[in-house]
Each structure stands twice: as structure tokens, then as C-alpha cells.
Structure 1
């Protein structure tokens, strides 16, 4: 599919609407005509470094680019001016809205926001994972949406941008089932439960080998196997990535399963071994190699796996923004392009927000600003998805054409491993 140009919304007069939103924590509006700021200054001691991806310092975006350092908000008025607001319905119960918000916070005293509001009480409306056939493959969001027949879509999980390209968290498709998941460490997720309701919360993965019940898996199709863990890879992964999935660790063990029986058990990870059909590859790191060594060539090998809450679809982000109406993030320093998904208090509406950033007309949002905005829009629970150059929203224009509706900070769509598709399906 050819790349799509960004749909340029018709410009409305400035100051189309003015409002006071105290909960957003915005400064008094400044004059127009902002210029692109210089790169962010060095972070002071104790400030959070972006892109590290550790438990202490979660990622802000997969690209690891330092965010613009947002200035502290002055005391006093907290007014924001809304300008250039446009909206339309993409389908019954699926609404798109875009607006500029002038708040005076530097660098660049304004942001541009794109919001999808989905009424999931309408039985025609549905959300699902959109992704390429192979987990480590990356595609533009517009291509993923077009192939799946989605009305709209946004980018999804953080991913291993510098190596395998695979997503870090949980991914489950309504029809194709679980595609990737870690036991712990990166499974804060948006998901739809077996009851049809949307939720935000942790989705731990459980996996074991039926013939060796004590042999537990730590990862399914993950870009990196947890330390002293065992990863299982299937046909959705494709060729094995060798030492990429073991963080370069040499003390490993690999078991190849073909036709439900163990074909080989060796102490070296294969490079480029293609997994076909119902074949599986188990790879162990560290102390877990002793457990995997017990699996004998020729014996049966049956994997038993599950996700908590038995979701029909799921996709991960790195951290919740709001939990039961309370803001649970504290970073109000680094401004990035952002993507977030939220659920209202009644559970009947899903809100998907993209904030443009790193551009002269939109600085991006800090985590605190993002959480405050989601709360102001009506979200009770909200999750941060991948940001930075990945932040992309595509959808149907008023004429029904699929287009990029925001302004990705790379100047074009970034290739991503998955996204959230919004569908309007015929109701039988």
C-alpha cells in the first residue's frame, strides 16, 4: 500500500473557543508566533532520564530521544485557549476531534491534540489488535489499519527499536489469539474482557510445559527473555533472532519442537532458524538452562499458556496514567509526543488521545499533563502507550478516505509492530 499523506484539517479562526480547565494545570496563554525551541538542556541531578526502560526509569518512547524540558508553571491563572477545533463522526458512535490548545508553557506555549471517542455500547463498534503477520515485523499504522479494514487506528506498544523490532508487552488478537507476552515487567495493558467490557490493568502471562510441570515459561515471542527465564517462540515470531533474545548471554539452551515432539536440545541458540506450522523453539538463560536440559529428544512437548482475565483482545503500554480517577504519574518535566487510551467511569466509552510534539506548533506533553488531559476528557482509567516518533493516529476523513490525522514528529509515519484498530462492523 502506498504511503498516505497527512490529512490537513481546514483552518478555523483563532480563539474559536475559549475555556478554563483548571485540572489541566496549564499556564496563562502567551502570544502567538512561537518558534521551534533549541534542543532540551541537560537534565539536572535527580531528574528522570528518558528511554532507559528499567523499572526505576520506564521508557517515555521507543526511540529514546530526550524530551523537551518543560518549564515550571507559574502560579496564578490556569487558563487555556482552544483554537482551530474541528470534529466529525467516522461511523455511528466513533467521533474524531482535533484542536490546538494555547497554554503558555514553554518551550512552545501550545499543543495540538487528536481524540477518538468510541461508544462501545454500540454493538457495531469494536477494538482489536492490528499487527503484521510476524511479531518482529514493523509497518506504518496506516497500512495496518487499511489491511484490517479499521475505521481508525493508533500506534500501540513500546518495542525493541534498536534490535529485533518486536513489541515489549502483551498482544492478543480476537481471532488469532495471543501473539506475544511476558510473565512480568511489561504487561500494563488495555484489554477487552470475556464480558465484552474494556479494562486497564496488568495482564500476567503464564506458561508451562505439560510434560514437565515445573518448567515455567517467562516469555512468549518476546524480544528479550527475562534473566534466568525460558522463552517460547512460535510461527508468529518467524526466524529465531539468535543471541538477540538472550541479551547476548552465552550460557543458554535451545530446544526445537516439531510435530509436538522434541527434535533437538543443544547449548547454542540457532541463528535464523525459521519456525514453521505448529513448531516451537524454547530458549533458556542462566539458571533456567538446567531445567530445559531435562527435556529429552524424542519426547512429547505440549505448551499450556494463558493470560490473566482471559481477554478477547489486549495490548500493552508502559504505565497507567489514571487509576480509578486518581493520577498515578509524577513526571512533569519531559514533554514528548504522546499516545494514550482511557475508559470513562461507566465503561461505555473508550478515549484514544494523540498529542503532537517536538514541533514548532506543539511541544508535546509531560506525563502529568497527559494524565490531567485524560481526566478532563472524562477518563476514569488511562494507560500510556508508545510515544515519540511512534505517536500516530489514522482514520477516515469526512469523505471516507483513510488518512494520517496527526503530525508525527519524524515528519512521516514510523514503522511500528502493532496498534489499536477501531472497527465499525455490521451487526447481524
Structure 2
């Protein structure tokens, strides 16, 4: 829906709705502000001017805070993961190397709310190479790993705080608790000549000398970007020593001197190698035995993840991380959790730059703490920042913030919220 739809929604649920609505707003805002230990400890919370129950266990609030560059409007979804009617999952366009607006992702999946997710390969420094639209970090949707993280030097987005990596995620486990974690690719190619570790899985950039595995989940976009850049520079030249092998049912079925494009048949795996990785693949012939395996290994949790999205940590155990950018204000998106992982918070800022100058990463960490989060990550911002809701009886999602572009930007993924029994 357009800006007109957002304006109607705000006036309908705003403070002008009358005394009964104001009283209800006050009670619900108080409940929101005290929803977690962090806000209760500080007695802070956020100054909500509007609060709305979207669905069972899902609340939407609007607020204004003072940033270093001026007043900023924010929008917050509070999600009760302890409610059995509520769940969270990663929304994708259907392929790793594909993009779609958040509202379309929410409508397709019938989510009641969503915010945009991870940073992604939106442009490219390599002439003639097609941007893939694929995200920086790992993706898990419906309990299934979709991709692994690109090398740190190849990521898009602002500088991470010290110690951060593209492998960092916010996820929700099968136990319905949110966590911060780090997902590392564990996989290999086994042939008669020996075993070779995988350096990538459905990701737009491979480490130097690496081998990457690509499945039908990648999509149809060219895999050429995978061999561009280096371990120290995203803009470094594309490798000229490359090789590609297709494996199906444990046998090599095709080989090529360069990365290809187009759909990958279900059940097939395309292996792309650069430098030493290309040399290893070049030893294979059509008909040779080859077995490929890949999985994402969590650093902290033994509970399988139902959902995970990449983002860099800004808040841990109720305290902002050292080294966060406290200078550059921008439109931002963030996700965090409190109540020992039982309450999820999804934040988006307004994108009307003339009126809302944005917040620094350090300020976003503080807003998430005030909202009630003990731990939080920064997600993609700028023109990607989008928060949508779909209330009872609504056929389509409503965009609640004002995106900074003329329209919603297509994004690689989104955090979707679902609620049954509405």
C-alpha cells in the first residue's frame, strides 16, 4: 500500500481516536515499555505515541527519540515467542540470488509483519559482472540452511565493530528462543584423488583458492561474481584461473572452464573453483565419483535453528559493544531480543531524511536497549529499511515507515512474523 494507506492507518490508531483509545494506548504502552528486564532495570522504555495490536502476540508501536542529529521517528514490532500461536521465519524471494520488496515477501508468505534483513550484493565494482542480490551472511529458513557467509572483506554494509564477522547471526531455535550465534560452513568435496574443504555454499563471493557449492536454491543468476574480489578487497580483480564442475548422484556430469549461469537442476550441485580450488576441480572428468556435503555449524547453541539471519552485533547482555560507530547517522533496521530469548524486537527508522536524520549505530544499540532488548544486531538500512504489518482482514501488508527511496527497495531477505488464530 502507498503513503496514503500509511497515513490512514496512523490516524486511525493514533491518540486522536478518543478517550477510550487513549486509555487503552496508555496501558499497552506501559506493557510494552516494561516488557523485558533491560527496560525494567533502567526504568526507561521508549516514548510511544501509537501502539497497536497486530495479531496474537504481535504488537506494533511508533515513537520519536532525540538523536545526535535531531529527532527521529522509529517503528517497533514486539513479538512474544512464548505464545504458541506465534513464530518467526526468514522470508526469501524463492532463490538466494533474487530480490523482492518486503511487502511482497510478507504477502506471499501470509506473514502478519516483517522487516528487511541482511545487507546484500546490490551493486558491483567489476565491469560486466552481474550483481547477484544475494545476502552477506548465512540464511536459515524453515530449519533448512540456504547459504553460508561471504568472506569478511567481501561484505556490503558499514564497518563491523571489532571482532565482528559475516558469520554472525540472530536466530530462533527449535525451542522458540532467540539467540545470537555464529554459523560456520562445514563441508567438503570427496573424490578418489582426496578430500577438499568447501569455501562456500550458495554465496556471491568465495575465498581465494576456494571451492563453492551451488544448488537449485541459488537461482538463475550467473555464478561469475563468486570468483571476483580477494580475501582483503571486495573490489580486487576477478580470478582468471577458474573451473566449474556439475555433480549429480555422486558423479561428475559436466565440466567448464568458467562459472556459468541459469537454473541448476534439483538434485544437482555445481562446484565453482578459483586458483587452487580450480586446480582441484580440473583433475575431475565426466563420470568420476564425487560426493559433496555441506552444513552450517553453530558456535554457541546445540539447539537446531528454525530461522537465522545475518547481522552484526551491537548489543550484548544489555550493553552496547565497544567500538560502535557513534558518528554516522543513517536510516537503520535492527533486531534484538529480551526475556531470555522469549521476546523479539524488530526496529525500523523513518526514511524521510529531511525530517528524520537517522541514528548512529551506537544510538541504535541504545534504542534497542530502551525497547527491552538485551542482545541485538544491526540489519541492512538506508533505502532497504522497511517495516510492514498486515492486520486482521487486510489482504495486503501496509508499509508503516517511509522508505528513503521513491518506493520499496527489493531486498534479499526479511524477518517474517506469523500468528495463527487471529
For Structure 1 versus Structure 2, the TM-score category normalised by the shorter chain is 0.7 to 0.9
- Distance verdict in 2 for CA 1:375–1:104, change over 3 Å: closer
Q: TM-score, normalised by structure 1?
A: 0.77
Q: In structure 2, which of residues 68, 71, 78 is the aligned counterpart of residue 105 of structure 1?
A: 68
Alpha-carbon displacement from aligned partner over 1:72-110 (angstroms, at most 9, x marks no partner): xxxxxxx99947x11111112110001223x2733xx21
Q: In structure 2, which of residues 349, 355, 362 is the aligned counterpart of residue 368 of structure 1?
A: 362
Q: TM-score, normalised by structure 2?
A: 0.78
Q: Distance in 2 between matches of 1:174 and 1:379?
A: 24
Aligned residues of 2:118 and 2:310 also touching (Cα < 8 A): yes
Q: In structure 2, which of residues 187, 196, 208 is the aligned counterpart of residue 207 of structure 1?
A: 187
Aligned residues of 1:262 and 1:298 also touching (Cα < 8 A): yes
Aligned to 1:307: 296
Q: Pick which of 237-246 and 87-96 moved more.
A: 237-246
Aligned residues of 2:243 and 2:257 also touching (Cα < 8 A): yes
Aligned residues of 1:240 and 1:275 also touching (Cα < 8 A): no
Q: Distance in 2 between matches of 1:244 and 1:224?
A: 6
Aligned residues of 1:358 and 1:409 also touching (Cα < 8 A): yes
Q: In structure 1, which of residues 389, 393, 397 is the aligned counterpart of residue 387 of structure 2?
A: 393
Aligned residues of 1:224 and 1:245 also touching (Cα < 8 A): yes
Q: Distance in 2 between matches of 1:373 and 1:81?
A: 8
- Distance verdict in 2 for CA 1:398–1:239, change over 3 Å: closer
Deviation at 1:202, TM superposition (A): 1.2
Aligned residues of 1:184 and 1:205 also touching (Cα < 8 A): no
Q: In structure 2, which of residues 408, 411, 415 is the aligned counterpart of residue 416 of structure 1?
A: 411
| Alignment of 1:251 onto 2:241 | yes
The equivalences for 1:151-300 within 5 A come to 151-162=112-123, 163-174=131-142, 177-182=144-149, 185=152, 186-211=166-191, 214-239=195-220, 241-247=222-228, 248-270=238-260, 272-300=261-289
| Alignment of 1:94 onto 2:83 | no
Gaps of 5+ in 1: 22-78
Gaps of 5+ in 2: 17-24, 34-43, 124-130, 153-165, 229-237, 299-303
**Structure with more helix by fraction:** 2
- Distance verdict in 2 for CA 1:298–1:149, change over 3 Å: same
Q: Distance in 2 between matches of 1:104 and 1:419?
A: 26
Q: Distance in 1 between matches of 2:118 and 2:46?
A: 32
Aligned residues of 1:6 and 1:407 also touching (Cα < 8 A): no
Deviation at 1:219, TM superposition (A): 1.3
How many residues were matched structurally? 359
